[in-house]
Amino acid sequence: MEGVHLVRRALTAATAALTLTTAGTLLAGTPGQAAPAGWGRPIVTAAPQPGASGLGDTYFPDYGNGGYDVEHYDVRLRYDPATDLLTGTTTILATATHDLSTFNLDFLLDVESVRVNGWAATTSTAGVHELVVTPARTVTRGQQLTIVVRYSGIPSETLVGGYTGWTRTDDGALAVNEPESAWWWFPSNDHPLDKATFDISVSVPTGVEVISNGVQPRPPAAEAGNRTRWIWRTTSPTATYLAFMAIGQYDIVTDTTPSGQPVVNAYSTSLGALGPAARASIERTGEIVDWCGGIFGPYPFEAQGGVAGPVDGISFALETQTRPVYGPGFWRRGANTYVVVHENAHQWFGDSVSVAEWRHIWLNEGFASYAEWLWSEEQGEGTAQEVFDFVYASYPADDEFWQVLPGDPGAGRIFDNAVYDRGAMTLHQLRLAVGDEAFFEILPAWATEHRYGNGTVAQFQALAERISGLDLDDLFTTWLFTAGRPDVASAARKVAPPAEPKSWAKIREAHDLMSH
Positions in the binding site for Zn ion (CB under 5 A): 1, 365, 368
- The dihedral built from the CA positions of residue 159, 163, 164 and 169, taken in this order, carries a sign that is positive
- Least spacing, CB of residue 342 vs Zn ion, in Å: 6
Q: Which is nearer to Zn ion, 84 or 372 (CB)?
A: 372
Q: How many CB atoms lie within 10 A of CB 99?
A: 20
Dihedral class, residue 253 (left if φ above 0, else alpha if ψ from -120 to 50, else beta): beta
Give start and end residues of each alpha helix (H) in 361-416.
Answer: 362-378, 384-394
- Please tell me the distance from the alpha carbon of residue 58 to that of residue 410, in angstroms, as a whole number: 9
Amino acid 262 reads P
Least distance from Zn ion to the Cβ atom of residue 1, Å? 4
* Distance in angstroms (rounded) separating the CA atoms of residues 346 and 365: 8
**Least distance between Zn ion and beta carbon 317 (Å):** 8
Q: Which CB atom, from 202 or from 414, has the smaller least distance to Zn ion?
A: 414
Q: Considering the complex, what minimum distance in angstroms separates the CB of residue 329 from Zn ion?
A: 15
Using an 8 Å Cβ cutoff, are 134 and 79 in contact? no
Instruction: Name 49's Cβ contacts closer than 8 Å, sequence gap at least 6.
Output: 28, 29, 30, 31, 32, 98, 99, 100, 101
Q: How far is the CB of 424 from Zn ion (least distance, A)?
A: 11
Nearest distance from C-beta of residue 8 to Zn ion, angstroms: 13
Residues paired with 221 in a beta bridge: 229
Closer residue to Zn ion, CB minimum distance, 233 or 450: 450
Which helix (H) or strand (E) segment holds residue 36: the answer is none
The answer, yes or no, to whether the previous bond of 217 is cis (omega within 30 of 0) is no
Nearer to Zn ion, 160 or 419 (CB): 419
Burial 478-495 (b: 16+ CB within 10 A, else e): ebbeeeebbebeeeeeee
> Considering beta carbons, is residue 130 or 365 the nearer one to Zn ion?
365
Q: How far is the CB of 367 from Zn ion (least distance, A)?
A: 9
- To the nearest whole angstrom, how small is the minimum distance from the Cβ of residue 65 to Zn ion? 26
Nearer to Zn ion (CB atom), residue 1 or residue 434: 1
Residues 6+ apart with CB under 8 A from 450: 352, 353, 459
Least separation in angstroms between residue 375's CB and Zn ion is 14
Q: Residue 41: how many CB atoms within 10 A of its CB?
A: 9
Alpha-carbon distance 344 to 347, whole Å? 5
Q: Is 134:123 a contact under the CB 8 Å cutoff?
A: yes
Smallest distance, Zn ion to C-beta of residue 2, A: 5
Q: What share of the chain is helix, strand, coil (3-state, %, to 5)?
A: 35, 25, 40
Of the pair 103, 330, the CB lying nearest Zn ion is at 330
Nearer to Zn ion, 266 or 368 (CB): 368
The residue (of 279 and 511) whose beta carbon lies closer to Zn ion is: 511
Contacts of 59 (CB under 8 A, 6+ apart): 16, 357, 358, 359, 410, 411, 414
Closest approach, Cβ 52 to Zn ion, in A, equals 29
CB of 276 to Zn ion, least distance (A): 25
Tell me the C-alpha distance between 301 and 501, whole Å. 33
Q: Are 367 and 427 in contact (CB under 8 A)?
A: yes
Closer to Zn ion by Cβ: residue 232 or 370: 370
Question: Of 79 and 326, which has the nearer Cβ to Zn ion?
Answer: 326
Q: Which lies closer to Zn ion via its Cβ, residue 1 or residue 442?
A: 1
Beta strands in 224-269 (DSSP E): 227-238, 245-248, 250-256, 262-268
Name the residue among 372, 367, 472 with its Cα closest to residue 419: 367
CB of 413 to Zn ion, least distance (A): 14
Contacts of 95 (CB under 8 A, 6+ apart): 68, 69, 71, 142, 143, 144, 145
Nearer to Zn ion, 121 or 418 (CB): 418
| Cα angle, residue 285 at apex, residues 279 and 288 outer, rounded to 5° | 130
Strand ordering across the sheet containing 110-116: 49-50, 100-106, 130-134, 119-126, 110-116, 144-153, 85-96, 68-80, 196-205, 227-238, 221-223
